[in-house]
Amino acid sequence: MAKVKVIFDRHNCIGARACAVVCPKYWGMADDKDGKANLLGSKLNEETGKYELETEASDQDLVSLRESAKACPINVIELVAF
């Protein structure tokens, strides 16, 4: 298990769905009219305006999270180990 923080800049998300396709355990798509992705279980960091999720990910989940970050066409997903 690896501790990782996922940081998501939802404001700049374009709703490409790549993250949700690659890693549905952590990503979902909004049902409202903006059509952007949601980082499941995350909380908004008021200081940065970005959503954050700290988790202990299995090796398989970590690979999926990395793939979701790589798949994002505008690079609004960041992973930070801690």
- List Cα–Cα distances, 25 to 7, 22, 41, 49, 55, in angstroms: 16, 9, 10, 23, 12
Does CATH number 3.30.70.20 belong to domain 2-81? Answer: yes
Q: Residue 59: pLDDT band by 50, 70, 90 thresholds?
A: very high
- Domain extents for the chain? 2-81
Residue range 63-73, pLDDT digits in tens: 999 999 999 99
Residue 29, pLDDT above cutoff 90: yes
